[in-house]
Amino acid sequence: MEQIIEDFILALRSSGARISIPESIDAMNTVKLTGYDDREVLKDSLSAVLAKSLYEKEIFEACFDRFFSFKTFSEHVDSSSDSIETEIQEENSLLSQMILSGDTGGLAASIKEAANEVHITGMQFFTQKGLYMHRILRHMGIEDLKRDIKRLSIEDTDGSTKMAEKLDKGREYLFENVKDFVEQQFSLFSKPTQENLLEDYLKHIKLSNLEQRDFHRMHVIIQKMVKRLSDIHSRRKKVFKRGQLDFRKTLRNNITYQGLIFDIHWKKKKVDRPDVVAICDVSRSVEAVARFLLLFLYSLNKSLAKIRTFIFCSNLIEVSHIFDEYPVEEALIKLQGGMGLGIILGRTDYGQAFCDFEKDWSHIVTNKTTVLILGDARNNYCDPQVRILKSIQERSKRLIWLNNEPRSFWGIGDSEMKRYLPYCHVAKQCNTVTHLERVVDSLL
């Protein structure tokens, strides 16, 4: 019985519910008190223990109904057996006897038992459905059933022929119901693997190839990345009575105690939040990458870094205040559409953008500032103003350029990337979410 609850909790976790070990233990103790006799009492009791929010209540409702409903043999073989011997032959296998007697409950229990034996909860990929189906059938005794059908067909009496026909029909229904059961179990237990595969695919796909329907999922992926980066970088390593042992200082200060260690010293290190100036090209050719970099910056702005954000196309404007004034979706639409912001979305002009930055904001770049530029450096044959980029590089701690085009395209046509390269501390191709995560990680 404990295995049933363990599998149910696994199904809940696979569906997105967060269930801790103590809550699992509470669920076991709850079932010991309620038992399995009353379905509604069991459902309400487990819901009270395992579902902590409205969202998890919805997951629980759907998962419980699927997990504890086993509609097998709803169209079972006709139980009328007037012309079939009422006494089932003892030499028939147990599976054959259950089919002949119409024992749907026994067949359902047999499928469940076989599923536990073959560890069906370990099924992860849709390609494994057929494998687990045949394992369950083999464990139930499908080979014995085939031998019974063959033997009864050879006997060639009226009773044996009808019995063989009924067994053959029952075998078909058995296949169908085991197939349905495996499909149900796959939907219950395989969701995390499918989600991980899809996430891994989306992390490495070129952002310019993303479809609109994937944007919400990509936002969720980025939030997970930001949370991971936050867990790694948000703790300031300022330690007083704990942390990493300063071995040399400890030994040196304890010489007076003749080698006995009384006065322990720890290494102390303080990590300041990085100072970042982000300059993003929001023209159509960089639109997809800019969207997700801005989403990263939006998520990091309040907790991990001091970020001032600028966007440009034909001119450059500061949009740092947008992160504070609007929710994420509205902020992204406003930043990329430029509505009411004073940005001119015409021909991309990197030179003009650098001139605007030098005129109004060059003073914010110090030797502690990391300047992050996102763009393809395609300047429509305007003056690239390389001297301004050189000036920014000299004043900053480091200058990082992210280009969504492959390196083989840099410097071709109206691309000024090769003229900008000497003044970049780091220049990378960046057109996937994984690329963005690595860059943000290095920034922090």
**330-378 confidence digits (pLDDT tens):** 877 887 777 778 888 889 999 999 999 999 999 999 998 889 898 999 9
pLDDT level of residue 237 (50, 70, 90 thresholds)? very low
Identify the CATH number of the domain defined by range 275-443: 3.40.50.410
- The residue that leads in pLDDT, 357 or 72, is 357
Q: How far is CA 396 from CA 46, 275, 337, 438, in A?
A: 58, 10, 30, 21
Highest mean pLDDT among 47-61, 259-273, 409-423 belongs to: 409-423
Segment 100-111 shows an average pLDDT of 82
pLDDT at position 396 is 93
Mean pLDDT of the chain: 79
Cα–Cα distance for residue pair 295/301, rounded to 1 Å: 10
Q: Which candidate, 404, 396, 385, places its Cα nearest to that of 424? A: 396
> Residue 68 and residue 251: Cα distance in Å, rounded?
64
pLDDT(321) > 80: yes
**Whole-model pTM over 0.75:** no
Helix (H, G, I), strand (E, B) or coil at 316: strand
Give the count of alpha carbons within 13 A of 383, CB side only.
Answer: 6
Q: How confident is the model at residue 180 (pLDDT cuts 50, 70, 90)?
A: confident
Phi–psi pair at 311, nearest 5 degrees: -125, 155
**327, 355 Cβ separation under 8 angstroms:** no
Euclidean distance between CA atoms 116 and 132, whole angstroms: 11
pLDDT digits (tens, 9 = 90+) for 420-436: 999 999 898 888 878 87
Would you kindly state where each structural domain of the chain is located, as residue ranges? 2-69, 94-189, 237-270, 275-443
Q: How confident is the model at residue 110 (pLDDT cuts 50, 70, 90)?
A: confident
**Start-end of H helices in 205-327:** 215-233, 247-253, 287-300, 320-325
How is residue 351 written in tokens?
């030179």
Nearest to 207 by CA among 370, 373, 374, 372: 374
pLDDT reported for residue 387 = 95
pLDDT of residue 73: 54
Mean pLDDT for 139-147 is 89
